[in-house]
Structure 1
């Protein structure tokens, strides 16, 4: 078996940075291309179009988060078997995961299309925005099978240390996205439908490129039609990690639906301002998530290789990097927030409304590093069920309770946005306690290296 990188050996800090940098650029490209949709609509369509697409953001995150969870499961399992140097298990995991991820993609796609209008109505989406929101969301859902396959392939490639290929694939698909955005919105006047179609095409381009990469491989990571079958033991192992991981992401999405309902209780200008300002979220989160992938991958390989001290060091290095990056980006967003929001909307009054969100979130992002990186560390050790329960309590139940108590009492947009920092803090403390216990449990049975 030809494995590009063995993370159970060598300097951790250097390797984590080398591993994460291509992921950061990949995620930045993804963020840039997603922002292009909003920016093109804001400049060449109308503010209501921006509001319509922005109204679906949390719902899109809920659906895509489930599929990202499956990709995370693939990453952890493949990384573990690479660390254990077991070619047969790697091959069976690859082909089982391909089937499972595609099935998940089609199921989420169908559910999204069927229930889109009902859910958007439950979210109290403004009447002036809902038709555009339903149109965008339904078209975007068509791309979810492709997204599911891309996440599957990305999980495999990152598990073996190849984070450059996804960067190249995303760059190519992103070019398609931008060109089609401009062509369909400016030339063909397709407005919301135009940016949605552009996104779907880009998703299928990236999925196709991942398929070609995996199909051309000659080692145990190679994808072959003749070997596509479900291995029961690998299926259960994948679902054990993927379902809780996907559920964690879906829980955030579900809880954030209530936040969107809170935003929708204000006037249309605030809804548009929130849509524009919230573009900072994926910018920061996606950079931080590169270190979470590194955390799971490095811990997964070192856990498979039974390297106790390297597991803990991988966690602390990943946590420090994600925290520092988030703090740095938050400071930049606080200083240049108005310039950032003006990329998506030109109305000065709406920009000022957007700053009410950005001024709070800018210094809250770094708190989430303690929560998400610790969840990634537990996932690297093969445990996701308990972290999921903690997330349900700390980031779902708590947020909903906050909305119906603190926000209901103060009725200000600031009281709504502050729940992010408080929920992240509470969840992080609980996740850290659990990981510390899990680490001791995993490495107390036998004397490991």
Structure 2
């Protein structure tokens, strides 16, 4: 009973209140997690220099490219754990937990090695200006040393989300976030280490959050209890995790690759424009994690209801998630547009940097609800175990549109405003393709449920 107060019954009762109960803590958790990078940007922007701000901000897309494959695989762990939990398969649930945590630890070590070794060459390949590249490489190398902690937290949280527990990860990240703020201020203002200081602060705070989530899994009395003596990877569960997680991870990596191409185009405007993009992109990051929390809820709720054959409830889950996602994105998007100048002043006081940031926000914030719809449909499909086709469609719609835009149209219309029109354009194209895919996959899944009954 001790753990039940943290869990949510996703298969019975009303839906919207449970979606909100699941999504709100996850939304706040994701915002806090994003604050790790935001605090870095704010501290160096306010207390160091615009070149330091550009250095930290220019690494965001690259860091996401390197990490999002493995973070995407954690979605596979979430879907598989949710199915086993809803169906009462305790042995399979336990094996899934230990497989996921073992993989998280090993992949974190691999990511640390790759990130440290490739930071400077990749930044150079992206055309990072010479006055920024040294600081950018330093930030990335230190940041990637914390990858084992980052991966343990993400996979541990995925397991907790599978049973409906989004409250304890919020508590853990709140504590880590406070540590991050204190350390960043200490290591930039009191001990002037610049970008290295904020990177060290972020790694230390990630260590705190990972220790807390692992401790939580060890202390639980449910089927998802973690025991270090049982840490090993079962091939059957790893394969099932990969079936859902790898396409999701590849989709995220490729989309962030297109963002890195876009970053290269921004780099051509100089370090001031880069700083403006860094600040504006961070604000867009907060919008994304808010709607992504609803997508995560949709995936977990769909997965549990699919495992027990409640296809009509799956439809109601998607409809409620659509209402919640569009409403959240509309409120936050319009708010970011209206108060864009005020928000950008949190990051910097330089007028030119703010002007570039406002130019980007003017085209990307109000239509951000389209991004929510675009992500929600693949979330529902992954909950039903179908991840490959939505990945392909997202890559074609999002990445394809942006590549055509960057290399085919942007050279003749060189402005940040025109460059970032590629965002809403790619969202609309991708939504149309994903909706058609959902219609046919849903029919197939319902047939499977009815045949199994």
TM-score relative to the length of structure 2 = 0.96
Report the CA distance between 1:446 and its aligned residue: 4.6
Report the CA distance between 1:415 and its aligned residue: 1.5
- Counterpart pick for 2:154 among 122, 138, 151: 151
Report the CA distance between 1:368 and its aligned residue: 0.6
CA deviation map 1:106-130 (0-9, x unaligned) = 2222222211111111111111110
2:239 matched to which residue of 1?
Answer: 236
In 2, Cα distance between equivalents of 1:101 and 1:240: 16
1:313 matched to which residue of 2?
Answer: 316
Does the alignment pair 1:411 with 2:439? no
- Counterpart pick for 1:257 among 249, 254, 260: 260
Question: How many residues end up aligned between the 2 structures?
Answer: 449
2:297 matched to which residue of 1?
Answer: 294
Does the alignment pair 1:58 with 2:61? yes
2:25 matched to which residue of 1?
Answer: 22
- Counterpart pick for 2:331 among 328, 332, 335: 328
Does 62-71 or 79-88 show the bigger shift? Answer: 62-71
- Counterpart pick for 2:203 among 173, 195, 200: 200
Q: Confirm or deny: 8 A CA contact 2:258 2:399 kept in the other structure.
A: yes
2:80 matched to which residue of 1?
Answer: 77
Report the CA distance between 1:213 and its aligned residue: 0.2
2:126 matched to which residue of 1?
Answer: 123
CA deviation map 1:215-256 (0-9, x unaligned) = 111221000122222212111101111111111111111111
Report the CA distance between 1:29 and its aligned residue: 2.2
2:396 matched to which residue of 1?
Answer: 393
Structure 1 regions of 5+ residues with no counterpart? none
Kindly report structure 1 stretches of 4+ aligned residues shifted beyond 6 Å: none
1:225 matched to which residue of 2?
Answer: 228
Structure 2 regions of 5+ residues with no counterpart? none
- Counterpart pick for 1:91 among 89, 94, 109: 94
In 2, Cα distance between equivalents of 1:55 and 1:32: 16
In 1, Cα distance between equivalents of 2:144 and 2:449: 47
Q: Confirm or deny: 8 A CA contact 1:70 1:101 kept in the other structure.
A: no
Q: Confirm or deny: 8 A CA contact 2:284 2:365 kept in the other structure.
A: no
1:432 matched to which residue of 2?
Answer: 435
CA deviation map 1:38-82 (0-9, x unaligned) = 111111111110000011011112123223212211111111111
Does the alignment pair 1:270 with 2:273? yes
Q: Confirm or deny: 8 A CA contact 1:83 1:303 kept in the other structure.
A: no
- Counterpart pick for 2:52 among 46, 49, 60: 49
Q: Confirm or deny: 8 A CA contact 2:401 2:425 kept in the other structure.
A: no
Q: Confirm or deny: 8 A CA contact 1:67 1:147 kept in the other structure.
A: no
CA deviation map 1:369-414 (0-9, x unaligned) = 1110111111101111111111221122221121101112212211
Does 165-174 or 100-109 show the bigger shift? Answer: 100-109
CA RMSD of aligned residues (A): 1.4
CA deviation map 1:177-216 (0-9, x unaligned) = 0010011100110010000000001111100001100011
Q: Confirm or deny: 8 A CA contact 1:291 1:321 kept in the other structure.
A: yes
In 1, Cα distance between equivalents of 2:61 and 2:298: 26
- Counterpart pick for 1:371 among 370, 374, 379: 374
- Counterpart pick for 2:347 among 332, 344, 348: 344
Q: Secondary structure at the match of 1:279?
A: helix
Q: Secondary structure at the match of 1:383?
A: coil
Report the CA distance between 1:445 and its aligned residue: 3.4
In 2, Cα distance between equivalents of 1:322 and 1:115: 37
1:103 matched to which residue of 2?
Answer: 106
Q: Secondary structure at the match of 2:346?
A: coil
In 1, Cα distance between equivalents of 2:449 and 2:101: 34
Report the CA distance between 1:168 and its aligned residue: 0.4
- Counterpart pick for 2:35 among 9, 32, 39: 32
Report the CA distance between 1:35 and its aligned residue: 1.6
In 1, Cα distance between equivalents of 2:266 and 2:259: 10
